[in-house]
A and B are shown apart, each in its own frame.
Chain A
Amino acid sequence: MATTRRSLFLLRNLIAGKTQTRTVTYMPRPGDGAPRPVTLIPGDGIGPLVTNAVEQVMEAMHAPVYFEKYDVHGDMKRVPQEVLDSIKKNKVCLKGGLRTPMGGGVSSLNMQLRKELDLYASLVNCCNLPGLPTRHEMVDIVVIRENTEGEYSGLEHEVVPGVVESLKVITKFCSERIAKYAFEYAYLNNRKKVTAVHKANIMKLADGLFLESCREVATKYPSIKYNEIIVDNCCMQLVSKPEQFDVMVTPNLYGNLVANTAAGIAGGTGVMPGGNVGAEYAVFEQGASAGNVGKEKIVEQRTANPVALLLSSAMMLRHLQFPSFADRLESAVKRVISEGQYRTKDLGGQSSTQEVVDAVIAKLD
């Protein structure tokens, strides 16, 4: 029990993506240097570009991971069984964005993947990167979003022609486990405050249940401050005073909005790492979901921003317990950004994806 707790500690700590100077040397288990397989799903749009960037950087670093690539596109009806089997075997996956067709009757593949693998927590780490000018300073927010139920249940039907109903489902089980995850995360990563985002003044039963679960879990962590905020007030505060937020736990839909807003104020969705994690599996991808697939112009000109996926792959390396590789990758990426010479268009520069990747490889020490 003690050893699982300690490895859980390391695991969660390293998912946080925080670079810490280590005073304790890392003592690997025998056989740890063997290359670990990771499922790679390039995806649609800018996906193949940015996952290629990650592959190049991993090769240059001689990181002990090798990728099993699988082609999945957004217009497929289901995620192929071989992909799911591979993820279940490897337990870790890195993925680019999957395009979801609008109103086409096909359910989102991203959602399918999350439901199949029960990845119930989605994490987006939004913090100001040094050297990147933004309108807001001192942003350091982690948005933890419930990933399986809520408004995205996909249960819709037409009652009579012209009237459509959609069900939003909130269960105590899911709300409790996401609240537990959020507080554990805050505890293990030395975070001081957890804020629950809700709209319980209107949706009294549904969001009321979510809040109840959060309050129950909060009593078990007396050292962490807990407060609640209504989602429209939250967005207003995020835009004017983002420094008051630390860890935010939200149901599905509000989490989407809050994560994208927080990513936008901290520098844009092109640079925020994130991932989906469940009890057994972890899928790492670009943090916020906006701009996941990108526009055709960006694909043609090859100016997609690889920074988000590079930082997410650093989180993945920590998850696989290779902290020194993760540190090297992260410091190289941060140095490239702070120098400001190689930046893609969404950060205000002119470089292409390949130039940024070369700069990162050059900065690896």
Chain B
Amino acid sequence: MATHILRRQVSQILSHASPNSNPTSYFSLARPFSSATDTIRATLFPGDGIGPEIAESVKQVFRTAEVPIEWEEHYVGDQVDPRTQSFLTWESLESVRRNRVGLKGPMATPIGKGHRSLNLTLRKELNLYANVRPCYSLPGYKTRYDDVNLITIRENTEGEYSGLEHQVVRGVVESLKIITRQASLRVAEYAFHYAKTHGRERVSAIHKANIMQKTDGLFLKCCREVAEKYPEITYEEVVIDNCCMMLVKNPALFDVLVMPNLYGDIISDLCAGLIGGLGLTPSCNIGEGGIALAEAVHGSAPDIAGKNMANPTALLLSSVSMLRHLNLHDKADRIQEAILSTIAEGKYRTADLGGTSTTTDFTKAICDHL
């Protein structure tokens, strides 16, 4: 039965491969968005809990910075849409597909059966294959690590999270980890392309190929193939236990990290912990055809919802990475500078960073810094 499910998955992957096998499909995004005068439509999912407040912050900052983006807001419905089998409506997904960029706030997963989880729906429907998390130490917010400046790129569709498990006999469970050439090539291509466009010098592939020789071996082979096409970028391979140890001792050793699903999950959260937690970490999901969905990875914090206490930094930094994807680099740099200098100054900080400001004060301080 496992092979039957696997064959179905393989045919799905191969059918997705044909229309989008051209890896330069995301380069085509550069042309229509290079002129700063056209307004770009982007989908905004404010989310639940503190979502609407921080989305409002983002809109205000963008207005002050005169970023040419027009938001299309969509909310999570309260009924299961039969076309998507989840609470996200078909219209929302179509809007993201049309606009090619989106920003998503924290969404609380409703409990219950009969529907897919929201993140899973987005991932499968939009075919989001890479999760990019830039982690850099925020000057002014002191953690034990001050020199972190790395990007983790994680393969988002297969690997250990395929969800194919079964009980062989009572008391013995098997779980399948699947690595395909096509998905590994895709994410490796994106990683090197990202490194090149953002001026990064080194890409490290993280693996455990000494134990899982065929699976991680295939991942490494694909990375090596792509590395040959980019001779100016240094490529190295690091075993994951070495990587963990080096990250906690000296995070400055790493630049861009590319890895399969499970290791990526753990390492990207570890790096988020190094810089101060999920409340400050931006994240961006890249899909086939150049779709980018930036999101805030923290939870919806229902206990502080509506109290004007939330920290909008994660969503703001995610929107900055969205702007970079759209090649609006000067606007992105200005907004990032403003955020970093506001936090560095230390006068306006929200409660989770140890200060007493409200969300609106913090946002206003950022706007003043622009």
Query: A residues bordering B, Cβ < 8 Å?
Result: 100-105, 108, 111, 135-136, 151-152, 154, 156-173, 199, 202-206, 208-209, 231-233, 235-240, 253-254, 256-257, 259-261, 263-265, 268-269, 288-291
Q: Are A236 and B144 in contact (CB under 8 A)?
A: no
Residue pair A162, B165 in contact (C-beta under 8 Å): no
- Is B6 a contact of A257 with CB atoms below 8 Å? no
B166 and chain A: residue at smallest CB distance: A205
The answer on a CB contact under 8 Å between B214 and A163 is: no
B175: chain A residues within 8 A (beta carbon): 167-170, 203, 205-206
State the 4 A-B residue pairs at the shortest beta-carbon distance, nearest first: A236-B273, A162-B181, A172-B171, A232-B269
Which of B143, B240, B241 has the most CB atoms of chain A within a 10 A radius of its CB?
Answer: B241
Contact of A135 with B144 in the complex, beta carbons under 8 Å: yes
Can you list 24 A-B contacts with CB-CB less than 8 angstroms, sorted by A residue number?
A100-B210, A103-B217, A105-B213, A157-B214, A163-B6, A163-B179, A165-B215, A166-B177, A168-B160, A169-B174, A170-B172, A172-B172, A173-B171, A202-B160, A203-B161, A205-B165, A235-B266, A236-B273, A256-B241, A260-B241, A261-B244, A261-B248, A264-B244, A264-B247
Asked whether B248 lies within 8 Å of A239 as measured between CB atoms, the reply is yes
Complex partner residue of B245 from A159, A167, A199, A290, CB under 8 angstroms: A290
A269 to B244, alpha carbons, bound, how many Å? 11
User: In the assembled complex, which residues on chain A have CB atoms less than 8 Å from the CB atom of B10?
Assistant: 159-160, 163
B213 touches A104 (CB 8 A): yes
B274 at the interface (CB under 8 A from A): yes
B197 interfacial contact with A, CB 8 Å: no
Chain A nearest CB from B168 CB (Å) reads 8
Given contacts A102-B210, A108-B211, A167-B176, contact A236 B278 (CB under 8 A): yes
**Which of under 10, 10 to 19, 20 to 34, or 35 or more describes the interface residues of B?**
35 or more
Closest residue on chain A to residue B10 by CB atoms = A163
Contacts of A164 in B (CB 8 A): 178-180, 214-215, 217-218
B269: chain A residues at CB < 8 Å are: 232-233, 235-236
Q: Establish whether residues B209 and A102, one from each chain, have CB atoms under 8 Å apart when the complex forms.
A: yes
Given A165-B176, A205-B175, A291-B245, A235–B273 Cβ distance below 8 Å?
Answer: yes
Smallest CB gap from A171: residue in B = B172
| Chain B 202-223: CB-based contact to A (< 8 A → 1; otherwise 0) | 0000001111111101101000
B242 contacts the other chain (CB 8 A): yes
Contact across chains for A151 and B209 when beta carbons are under 8 A apart:
no
Q: When chains A and B are docked, how far (Å) is the Cα of A238 from the Cα of B274?
A: 10
On chain B, the residues within 8 Å of A202 by CB distance are 160-161, 163
Residues of A within 8 A of B278 (CB): 236
Known: A159-B6, A165-B6. 16 other contacts (CB 8 A): A100-B210, A103-B209, A103-B217, A158-B214, A163-B180, A164-B179, A164-B214, A164-B215, A167-B175, A203-B160, A205-B167, A232-B266, A235-B267, A235-B273, A236-B278, A261-B247
